[in-house]
Chains A and B, each alone.
Chain A
Amino acid sequence: MVRRVTIHKALAAVLLTVPLAFAAGGLPAWGASPSSPQRILAIGGAVTETLYALGLEDRVVAVDTSSTYPLRALSEKPNVGYLRALSPEGVLSVGPDLIIALDGAGPPDAVKVLKGAAIAFETVPEARNEAGVLAAIRRIAALAGVPERGEELAQAVGEDFKALALIRARIPAPRSAVFVLSASGAAPVVGGAGTGVQAMFELAGVSNAMAALHGYKPAVGEAVLGADPYAIVLMKDQNHALSDDALKAMPAFAGTSALMAGRFYHIDGGYLLSFGPRTPQAARDLAALIYPELALPALPVRAYDPASPAAASGAP
């Protein structure tokens, strides 16, 4: 009985404070509805990025390994591991009331246990183009109980995509590039058709020199040589094997115009491949690297992308 009384008191206190907070302008205009989930577990880089962009950082209780943006997400929030190898008890230990995961999160048995514990487990399809990115933003916002904010964000991102299309229209003839995922083995592992890289190249008006391959595959040296890519795109300092020197030493690249002219471009992997709200910016930055002489304009600066990283670190 004693406990029930305290709960009533607490309830009364809350009910009294809410109108006060409204009166003082303490809640934002598009405040979340009271029933919306308060402890969200974000699984997938795009999900985390979108939740942060929606201003829901405080409601994210934990993230997964691929949540590399914003940088503080992984350092400030608990990390439940790789999205396809979730531990049910680990996930339960962060006490989420909603899990928003990219498609393919699992394993299925772990998802079953979580659903058995009466936790909402919602998936978002992985986006690969403008429509996909915008749909994912709207869906994540709706799940989090803030559809209006989602609409606002989707419109901003949609405008950026339109600006990106104008930028693409200025490219006279597409140049080809190769994306090198790793170069630690004998043959460089490159991004082929059906990968996020291919989709990002399309958005940036760049043709994928390795489109004949499917997925991320080790490429035969001669295939790279034959395609003669204009530029080589790499992820930023993932490991030493991806240093420019290591690439120059690989026979696969010897004699390509990319290597002769020193056109290696390092771009943050999460920025390039997560297909979150910053996708148009990432595509524009990639295009600016490949077509420097066109002096492509920057996209508007967005609050969720404060210092739109000029992205380039390699030779201009």
Chain B
Amino acid sequence: MVLSSVSPVAPPRARRPRRALLALCLCGVLVILAFLASLAIGPVTIAPGRIVEILAAALRGERPGGAALREAVIVLDVRLPRTLLGLLVGGGIALAGALTQGIFRNPLADPGLIGISNGAALAAAVWIVAGGHLAFYLPPALADAGLPLMAFCGALIATVALYAISTHEGRTSVVTMLFAGIAIAALGAAGTGLTVFVASDQQLRDFTFWSFGSLGGATWQKVAAALPFMVLLAVICSRLARALDALALGEAEAFHVGIDVQRAKWLAILGIAAGAGASVAVAGVIGFIGLVVPHLIRLMFGPGHRLLLPCAALLGGALLLGADVVARTIVSPAELPLGVVTAGFGAPFFLWLLLRRRAALMG
């Protein structure tokens, strides 16, 4: 198996702290660089000094009017929420991917494989097609939030169904979950296909753009909406790192080293639904990051989850921000779908990495 690197070959204990520190610093520096780039680069050229001034003024509670208004809007209402949302979503999908791979002990698993993204996509498609009729009867605030809310509910329903199907007499079978997930994914795709069939031309294009993901619609409301879910995901990850390491040896082995396996599965599912659901809800479907970021970390720093999870979150955020900078500048003043950039640049890079490491991985 080429990618069986989920097995825990823990590095010698003594060397671990320094290595971990190095890895965390590296990922941290990447995040800071990506953050600054995302604030500084865009279709409108704003001098870095101006950006600092605008941010400083905003911290003092001032907002410029007149000619400076446009620059202030770009920095404070476009780039800043977009950057923060990118960090949250990138970190969220990378963590959700790492959790999925860890709990399923399968390096190819990601929230897309087990139907969670498809559940969200189906719900989003239904909203795009039918929501226009519904929106009349809803209060405006709810109508505006309809798409993200529906996408999150779709992810949640898919996750709950998955968990219910694969849990029997209080024990969750990971294999059943994988198969059930694939079936749910197929069902979601079929439902989406049906919805797309009855969609009008414009709805179809809306859905196509949504399904490639974008941070273009970032607002402070979306940042605030996504934040609690990502915090929940991060807390769950911090609790699960040890359990995931033990689970990598096998369920029985994990049980024997004192891990509450059922609780770990339950928590992981909750975390995956929170991360994947909230990400899809605010930014659409962004492929590739969730699958590949955990692999990159394993290839570079090893498979231990205590290092893997925080590094994946940081690297996921940094990569997504980088991809977003490309997406919004390369065809400016228009904008490429984000999923096109993440997969278009990321996949070849990952293949290159695989080819380079092929000999070592084949072992």
Per-residue contact bits, chain B 216-257, to A (CB 8 Å; 1 contact, 0 not)? 111100100000000000000000000000000000000000
User: Contacts of A80 on B, CB cut-off 8 Å?
Assistant: 333-334
Contacts of B79 in A (CB 8 A): 89
Shortest Cβ distance from residue B58 to the other chain A in the assembled complex, whole angstroms: 14
The distance from the CB of A208 to the nearest CB of chain B, in whole angstroms, is 16
Q: A78-B333, A92-B70, A216-B201 are in contact. Are A85 and B219 (CB under 8 A)?
A: no
The distance in angstroms between the C-alpha atoms of A117 and B78, with both chains bound, is 10
Task: Answer yes or no: A90 CB below 8 A from chain B CBs.
Answer: yes
Instruction: Assess the B202–A84 pair: CB atoms within 8 A.
Output: yes
Taking a contact as CB atoms under 8 Å apart, the answer to whether B77 and A84 are in contact is no
Q: Is the CB of B332 within 8 A of A93?
A: yes
B42 on interface, CB distance cutoff 8 Å: yes
The chain A residue with its CB closest to the CB of B69 is A118
Given that A87-B334, A112-B219, A216-B201 are known contacts, is A117 also in contact with B214, CB under 8 Å in the complex?
A: no
Chain A neighbourhood of B78, CB < 8 A? 88-89, 92, 113
Q: Hey, which chain B residues are within 8 Å of A110, CB to CB?
A: 216-217
| B134 touches A (CB below 8 Å) | no
Q: Is the CB of A82 within 8 A of B219?
A: no
User: Contact between A89 and B201 (Cβ–Cβ < 8 Å)?
Assistant: no
A116 x B202 contact (CB < 8 A): no
A108 in contact (CB, < 8 A):
yes
Within 8 Å by CB of B205, from A78, A82, A91, A109, lies A82
Determine whether B200 belongs to the interface, using a CB cutoff of 8 Å to chain A.
yes
Q: Which residue of B lies closest to A194 (CB)?
A: B200
Q: Is B350 an interface residue (CB 8 A)?
A: no
Complex Cα spacing A22 to B79, Å: 45
- Which of A93, A108, A113, A216 contacts B43 (CB under 8 A)? A93
Q: Are B44 and A93 in contact (CB under 8 A)?
A: yes
* A65 interfacial by beta-carbon distance below 8 Å: yes
Of the residues B43, B69, B144, B200, contact of A89 by C-beta under 8 Å: B43
**Using a CB-CB cutoff of 8 Å, which residues 62-117 of chain A contact chain B?**
62, 65, 78-82, 84-94, 104, 107-110, 112-113, 116-117
Other-chain residue from A90, A109, A112, A217 in contact with B333 (beta carbon distance below 8 A):
A90
B57 within 8 A of A: no
- Is there contact, CB below 8 Å, between B69 and A85? no
Check A81–B331 contact: CB distance below 8 A: yes
CB distance from A221 to the nearest CB of B (A): 17
Nearest neighbor of B335 in chain A, beta-carbon distance: A87
A89-B205 in contact given A81-B335, A108-B144 (Cβ < 8 Å): no
A215 within 8 A of B: yes
CA distance A104 to B128 in the complex (A): 13
Interface readout for A246-263 with B: 1 if CB under 8 Å, 0 if not?
000000000000000000
Which residues of chain B are within 8 angstroms of A104 by Cβ–Cβ distance? 202
- Per-residue contact bits, chain B 317-341, to A (CB 8 Å; 1 contact, 0 not): 0000000000010011111000000
Nearest A-chain residue to B328, judged by Cβ = A87
A82 contact set on B, CB distance < 8 A? 205, 209, 334
Q: How large is the interface on A (under 10, 10 to 19, 20 to 34, 35 or more residues)?
A: 20 to 34
Task: Report the minimal beta-carbon distance from B223 to chain A, rounded to whole angstroms.
Answer: 12
Cα A88 to Cα B79 with chains together (Å): 10
Considering only CB atoms, which chain A residue lies closest to B147 in the complex? A107
Name the CB-closest residue of B to A114: B73
B74 touches A92 (CB 8 A): yes
Question: What is the CB-to-nearest-CB distance from A99 to chain B, in angstroms, rounded to a whole number?
Answer: 12
B window 342-357: CB within 8 A of A: none
Q: Chain B contacts of A113 at CB under 8 A?
A: 73, 77-78, 219
Cross-interface CB contact of A85 among B43, B70, B201, B216, cutoff 8 Å: B216
Residues of A within 8 A of B216 (CB): 85-88, 107, 110
CB distance from A181 to the nearest CB of B (A): 9
- Kindly name the residue among B43, B197, B222, B328 whose own CB sees the greatest number of chain A CB atoms within 10 A: B43
Complex CA gap A91/B74 in Å reads 11
Residues of A within 8 A of B328 (CB): 87, 89-90
Most buried by A among B69, B79, B335: B335
Cβ–Cβ contact B333 & A79, under 8 A: yes
CB B222 to nearest CB in A, in angstroms, measures 8
Looking at the assembled complex, report how far the CB atom of A81 sits from the nearest CB atom of chain B, in whole angstroms: 3
User: Which chain B residues border A81 with CB–CB below 8 Å?
Assistant: 331, 333-335
In Å, the complex CA distance between A108 and B209 comes to: 14
Which chain A residue has the least Cβ–Cβ distance from B327? A87
Contact indicator B214/A85 (Cβ below 8 Å): yes
Contact surface of B with A, Cβ cutoff 8 Å: 42-44, 69-70, 73-74, 77-79, 144, 197, 200-202, 205-206, 209, 214, 216-219, 222, 328, 331-335
Pairs of residues from A and B, 8 with the lowest C-beta to C-beta distance, nearest first:
A81-B334, A90-B333, A93-B43, A87-B335, A117-B73, A109-B217, A93-B44, A80-B333
Given contacts A87-B333, A113-B219, 9 further A-B contacts (CB under 8 A): A79-B334, A89-B42, A92-B43, A93-B332, A109-B219, A110-B217, A113-B77, A116-B73, A117-B74
